[in-house]
Structures are given as C-alpha cells and as structure tokens.
A and B are shown apart, each in its own frame.
Chain A
Amino acid sequence: MPTVGTDEHELLVTGRGRFIADIAPDDCVEVCFVRSPVPHAGIRSVDLGSTQATWGAELGLQPLRLEAGGMVTVLWHPLPTERVRYVGEPVAMAWSTDRYAAENLAEAIFVDYAPLPAGTPLHDAAPDGVLFSRAVDSGGLDEAMAQAHLVLERTFKTARQSALPLEGRGVVAEHDPATGVTTLWTSTQLPHLVRRGVAHALATDEDSVRVMVPHVGGGFGLKASLYAEEIAVAALARRLGRPVRWIEDRTENLLAGTHGHDTRIWLRVAVGQDGRVHAIDADVLSDVGAYSVWPGTAGVEPATAALSLFGPYALEAIRFRARAIASNRCPVGPCRGIGQNAAVFATEQMMDAIAAALRIDPLELRRRNAVRELPWTSPIGRELDSGDYLALLGRLEEASDYQGLLGQRAAARTEGRLVGIGISLFNEISASGSVDYRRRGVTSLPGTDAARVVVTAQGRVEISTSAADAGQGHADTYRALAERELGLRPEEVEVIEGTPRAARTAAGPSSPAARLGWSRASSRPCARRPNRTWSPAPTSPTSTIRCRSIRVAPTSPWSRSIRSAWPPTWCATSRSRIAGGCSTKTWWRGRCAAPSPWASERCFSRSTPTQRTDNS
C-alpha cells in the first residue's frame, strides 16, 4: 500500500520504492512451488521428502466455484489433489530460510502423475470442453445476406500472449494468532478480490484477511486475478505461525501467470454496392485454458470480443455466437484489451478486405460506415452515447497527410517496395462496474469502488481509494482532482491506495470508477458525516490509528511503510457504480448514481482512430 506523497516519484527514481520482493519480515521463510510438468494427469501420490513441504491435501483449502452468467460451473482447487490440468499448475510447496534452500527441498518432492490420454475432458461438468457459450441475434441477418451486393467471409486469429509485467508476482503473508488476522502483501491490481478469495479458500471471514499492496512493477491484467499461490502462502503462514514469502521467478511467470488474447473470430459480412456494411455474422471462439480464473474470466474474452465487433460502425443486423473452450494451457485472465484487440483486428482487417474488393478508398469506406448520429444504439443494444467518428477520421486524414501518404505509397511501389497504409477506427469499453458485473452474472464480487477523503486537523487531505496503482499514476489524477474540486495544493494531498481496509470494495485498478468515486467523495465531503467521531482500534498490530490528529503507530518491522487509514474522524464514502467518461458505454448509459461535474465530461474518451502500417 504505497502512501503516495508528492515525493513518490523521487522514491522510485532513487531505488527507494518498496516492491513485493523488497518486503522480507524477520524470521520469514521462502517458498518454492512444485509445478506440474505434464498437461493433464491424475495425481497418484505425493512424497514430500522433508518436513518443510506440504501440498493441497494437507492444507485443507476450500475449492472456489468458478461461474458467471452463461458459464458452466466448475470447481477450482487452488492446489489440486486429484488432477492437474496444465503445465505449471502448482501442486506442492517447500520452504526454507532462503529461496536457494527451498528450491533444493522442492527438488526432493516426488509427485507421481498418471498422465491422461489426449481428448480426456478437463472438467466433468463440461464434457464438450465448452465453459461458456452465448448467442445473440438481432434478427434480419438472413435477409441482409440474401440482399447483399457482396458477402465476404474470413477468419482472424489473435495469438496467446502473456502480459509480462517486468516485475513478477509475489506474496508475503503473516498471521497473527492473537487477533486471528492474516496479513497478505501481494503484488496485485485487485486487493479486494484477493481478500475475498483468500478468505473463502481459508474458510474464514474477510475481516480476518488483510491485503496490502506495495509498489507494483506493472500488471497489465496479469495481476488482476486471484492466484493459487496467494491462497497457499496465506494458508502456510497460518499453519507455521511465521511470515511466509514467495517471489515468482520469470519461468513461473510465463508458465502460470494468466495468459490472454487467444481468440479466433470467423466473420461473414453483408455489404452493399456503396461499401456500407449492413450485417455481420460472427463466431467467436476463445481458448481460455484449463480454468476460468475466479470468479469467472472464461466468458470475458469471447463475449467482449463479440460485443466489440464493428464497434463504431452503423450496422443493421448482428448475429454472433461466442464460446470459451477449455484446454490444457494456462488459464486466460484479463490482459490488455480483453477481447477488444481481437475484435478490432478482425473488424479492421475485414474493412480493408471490403475496400479492396469494391475498390473503395479504405478511409472513405470507414467514413461511409461510421456511426453518424449519437447517441446510437446498435441492433443488439450496444449504446454509444458520445463521440464524433467522422470528425476523428477527418482529423486523421489531415494530421497524417493522407493524400501525401498515398503518393508516397505509390512512389514506393513503383520502386518495388511494399509500403502500405493501415487505418483503424475503434472505440473501447471502459468504466466497468457493479451493473456490468451483475449483467455478466458475477455474484461473488460487488464490482463497486470506494474512496474516502479525510481532512486532517492540520488541514491536509488524505485520499484513500480502493484502486491499486500498478504504474498508472493514479495519485497524480487524484491530486489534480483535489486541486480542482477543493482548491488544494498537491503537497497538501496524501494518497493511500490499494488497502481494502481503507476502502472496502473495488472494481479494478485502471477503472475510472475509482477516479469517479473519489471525485464524488470529494465533491460532497460532508454528505455522510457519521455520528461517531471515534473508531475502535484495528485488529492488526501494524496499523496506524487515526483519531482526530492523534496517531498511534505500533512498532513493527514493516511499520515504516504500513499505514492503514482506519475509519477517520469523518468521511465520505462513495460507491460509484460506474459512470462514464468513455465514449462507448455499452451497457451502463444513464446509470451514474449521482450527478457530478466530473461524470459528465469526456475525460476518458477513447474513440481514437489510430494509424498503422501494413502491406495492404
């Protein structure tokens, strides 16, 4: 939980940041995981080889239910005891005073695997391998295809990727038997999700799990999931009664940090003589790996891809089928773009194919197809509330000197060089929140964000938010807001991020919900002034207690960087269910809970045409 002061960047530029691997409490043990070397096998037996090792059967972890709307319900065992389903799946763990010794002990662990033949269904609940399936039909597709001047059919594929943050994952856990509280430091983008999941797997209540986020060395979605390692390390800390630490190495990161973007899109389009695309028919298939990531990521990639197809283009009919299939690969989680990359790639490649087939200038073709009058609702109910795509294309034409580029391309081609001009017009779904969570069928997470703004007796302001920064620079945004809304100087604002105790619910790290939530909290700071002016002491010995201007900070090896904003003297908590900002608010239009000057602006508008170069 970085406490972000104005010198925050100075800490980072002088090597004084505090990342997960920099946290090593006295007396902690280092963990090394033993991971499955086979893609699909039963576990016959496990010989731990030493007393400093354990596995799932001993830890007694509760399985988590993976589910969301339209999905097959599957149970996920954080450390499987019966079957492994992908290479890299953690099975057992060894610990010692340092990682070197722990790796030696891990090598002494013998797991007897019984490999399963290819084709064996991964999950009994999904014998056909389909974890998620959704079909949407606006109607009118067959007619549009029959009347089309041109029907084109293509398949597009985006490769499996890793988000590959420069810093891997890592967890440090400490259990306090006196209070029953397990404190977890973890390099995550979603501390609230981790707390809820860990509490569930440990069969305890959420108040007994405290999650703190240090500086995060990049996440890009890979750290926006609950991981088995977080659960296992917490369980081991409770069992051993001493701090436990696991720092991921790069091999583990590539094997077992969630992957992304493994999607195939089959697309058929009905096009008029003038190049207008009247209808699209799509089949979206994502390989989501061995499991959905809790609570239910399997549907996210294919459903988002399907809904994002031809985003800024005015269609008359849409039909799609989106499916997620399980495979013996690392689970797919959120990863930069989530489905939209695949959708934009397929859409724009198809637009170029249409332009080539009808000999229409690609920029002109996009102009003819772009949504002209907003707000606009697509045939399947996707709402675009704001934006000006024609103006954007006009700006692109001007800024890129499009006519000049055409000349350069022609000249290059006469010299035998393959030079192309690529154009892409897209909009991006953003500001996902609780309404969206409900619509997706997620019941295990609230999807709300919270912020708390406290004015101290010294006249400074402390902003605590549920969002966990992973390099996005939230603090600068909050300070800019504080400057505007409250007339404060940046040095008068302290930002405390990523602590579920400071803010009890959360949607996501880069979710504008966090920022909006903060804005609303600060705009109406006295709206929820509680009656009490004093709060009970927190249960953890490492917390800072704030009561008016009095601070009590019990000493601890970690206390110099641990500061938890406990219920302050007065506060305003905002639950921003999502509001807007982005030009594409697919399902959430009009759901902003309360008017805010911030909410009505387009500060996060992403309807941006971009230019790329290819050989078209």
Chain B
Amino acid sequence: MKVTVSVNGRPWSGEVPARLTLSDLLRDRLGLTGTHVGCEQGACGACTVLADGEAVRSCLLLAVQADGMQLTTVEGMGAPGRLSSLQAALLRHRAFQCGFCTPGFLISATEILGSGRRYSRQELRELLSGNLCRCTGYEPIVEAVFECQR
C-alpha cells in the first residue's frame, strides 16, 4: 500500500505492506533508528513519535495509518553540537543512563511543552507516566522538563 508522510520536515512516499508498523517503517526503511522499540505493546513509550503534533506509540500504529501525517522523531529535534533546549536540559540533569528510553521521553516532553501550559512537578509526573525508564528513576527527567517550562 502506498504511504506518503512527512518525517522531520522531509517528504517520503513509498509502498509498504499493510502490516508494517510505523516504528519499523521509521527504523528499517528510513534509517531513523533513534526511535527505539522496547515492548511492542504500547507500555514503555520508548517508540513515541509526534504525529501531527500528537505523541503516539509508533509500535502500535501501522505505517499505513500514518498516511498524510507530519511525523517528528528524535532525529528532528537537534543534533550533537546543536542540542535543543530540552535535550540540553536532560543532559544537564543527567536524566538518563543507558539512553534507550530517552528519545521517547524527549518526544513526550515536547508535546507537553508544546501545550504552552505550565505544569507542576506532580502534573509532569502524571504526564510523563506513559514513558518508562529502568536505569535512572524519574526525578532528573521531571526536573529537566520542569526547567524547560520556565
């Protein structure tokens, strides 16, 4: 089936099998391996990407369902040497160890920050609860996102 998407501002169009997940399209076809697949059942949040500005689980979405969407992955957020303020905040707070969950947190936090609202730390914990981290704990992650609201 034919799919046309915009990924990090660049258009992509191609034939995909109906059963191909969006995460596999991004990782295997487009080479955007920053989107990580942790649980393949929507529980861990590592594969979260922005679809038309909304954070979605790319492992639960079929590629064909993303047809026509504007997608943003972690690769679209900043690169070594020119980090986004959110990425810099995560770095400053040492908000990751192994770094596997980090892209998902970045995307979820981007959606949160994009709302324009100011949340309390407790509210941020709730909002980020769809992403799991097994190494660090959540304190520095919440703190980094909280700081970016200022």
Contacts and interface: CB of A to CB of B under 8 A. Distances in A.
Interface string B95-118: 011111111001000000000000
Interface in A471-526: 471-473
Interface in A1-19: 7, 9-19
A13 B91 contact: yes
Interface stretch (A164-172, A204-212, A397-405): A164-172
Interface stretch (B50-58, B79-87, B121-129): B79-87
Nearest to B33: A22
A10 B84 CA distance: 11
Interface stretch (A38-46, A213-221, A286-294): A213-221
The secondary structure that dominates the B interface is loop
Interface in A58-100: 98, 100
Nearest to B95: A13
Contacts of A315: none
Contact of B100 (A9, A11, A16, A19): A19
A217 B80 contact: no
Contacts of B78: 14
Contacts of A98: 28
Interface residues of B, number: 42
Contacts of A167: 36, 38, 98, 100
Nearest to A220: B134
Nearest to B35: A15
A470 interface: yes
A166 B133 contact: yes
A445 interface: no
A21 B27 contact: yes
Nearest to B97: A471
A12 B97 CA distance: 9
B99 A250 contact: no
Contacts of A361: none
B100 A218 contact: yes
Nearest to B79: A14
A250 B59 CA distance: 12
A250 B83 contact: no
A392 interface: no
Contacts of B36: 19, 21, 166-167, 217
Given A7-B80, A100-B17, A218 B91 contact: no
Given A10-B83, A14-B74, A217-B99, A166 B34 contact: no
A472 B97 contact: yes
A249 B40 contact: yes
The secondary structure that dominates the A interface is loop
A100 B91 CA distance: 36
Given A215-B98, A250-B41, A166 B81 contact: no
B60 interface: no
Contacts of A7: 80-81
B87 to A, nearest CB: 5
B28 A250 contact: no
Contact of B99 (A24, A100, A164, A215): A215
A14 B135 contact: no
Given A14-B75, A100-B19, A471 B99 contact: yes
Nearest to B107: A15
Contacts of A18: 33
A165 B83 CA distance: 27
Contacts of B80: 7, 10-11, 14, 16
B39 interface: yes
Contacts of A470: 98
Nearest to B34: A15
A220 B17 CA distance: 36
B134 A166 contact: yes
29 contacts: A9-B99, A10-B80, A10-B91, A13-B83, A13-B102, A14-B34, A14-B75, A14-B83, A15-B35, A15-B74, A15-B102, A15-B103, A16-B75, A17-B99, A18-B33, A19-B33, A21-B37, A98-B28, A100-B17, A100-B19, A164-B134, A165-B98, A166-B44, A166-B100, A166-B134, A215-B100, A218-B98, A218-B134, A471-B97
> 9 closest A-B pairs (Cβ-Cβ)?
A15-B34, A471-B98, A12-B99, A217-B100, A15-B74, A471-B97, A22-B33, A10-B80, A250-B39
Interface of A: 7, 9-19, 21-22, 24, 98, 100, 164-168, 215-218, 220, 249-250, 470-473
